[in-house]
Amino acid sequence: MDWLMLFAAGCCEMLGVAMLGKLQRDRTWQTFCLFLLGFGGSLLLLSQAMKTLPMGTAYAVWTGIGASGGAVLGMLLYGEGRELRRIICIVMILGAAVGLKLLG
C-alpha cells in the first residue's frame, strides 16, 4: 500500500509538471487548479508513504518518477528538445539528485 501511494505521488507530480507547461498556453483557473492538485496531492501522498517507508528511499523514488516523467511528458506533449545531449544532462541532474536522496 505504501509503495502504491508513493507511485501515485510520483504520478501526481508528473501531472503538476504537465500543468506547469500547460499554464503557459492556457492560463485558465482549471489548469491552475490541476496544477495545485498535482503538487498538493503529490506532497500529501509522499508524506503518507513516508510513514512506513524509509525517508531517503521514498524521496528518491518520488523525485525519480516525478521529475523524469515530467521531462518525458514535456517532450511528448510540448515538443521539447529530444537531443541526446539534452537527455544526458537531464539524466545526470536527476541521477545525482536521486543518489543524494538515497544517501540522505
Partner 1 sequence: MKNNSAWFKIAGAACLEVVWVIGLKHASVPWEWLITGLALLVSFYTIIAASRKLPVGTVYSVFVGLGTAGTVLADMLWFGEPFRLIKLVLILVLLAGVIGLKLVTGNFHSKEVS
40 contributes a contact to partner 1 by CB under 8 A:
no
Could you tell me the smallest distance in angstroms from the CB atom of residue 102 to partner 1?
10
The total number of residues shown for the chain amounts to 104
Give whichever of 3 and 40 is closer to partner 1, judged by the CB atom: 40
Sketch the per residue contact string, 17 through 36, with partner 1: x for CB under 8 A, - otherwise. Answer: xx-xx-xxx-----------
The 8-class DSSP code of residue 51 comes to: T
Q: How far apart are CA 61 and CA 80, in angstroms?
A: 24
Interface with partner 1 (CB under 8 A), residue total 40
Q: How far apart are CA 52 and CA 58, in angstroms?
A: 9
Q: Tell me how many degrees the CA angle 7-72-93 measures, rounded to the nearest 5.
A: 85
The binding site for partner 1 (CB under 8 A) comprises: 17-18, 20-21, 23-25, 39, 63, 66-68, 70-75, 78-81, 83, 85-86, 88-97, 99-101, 103-104
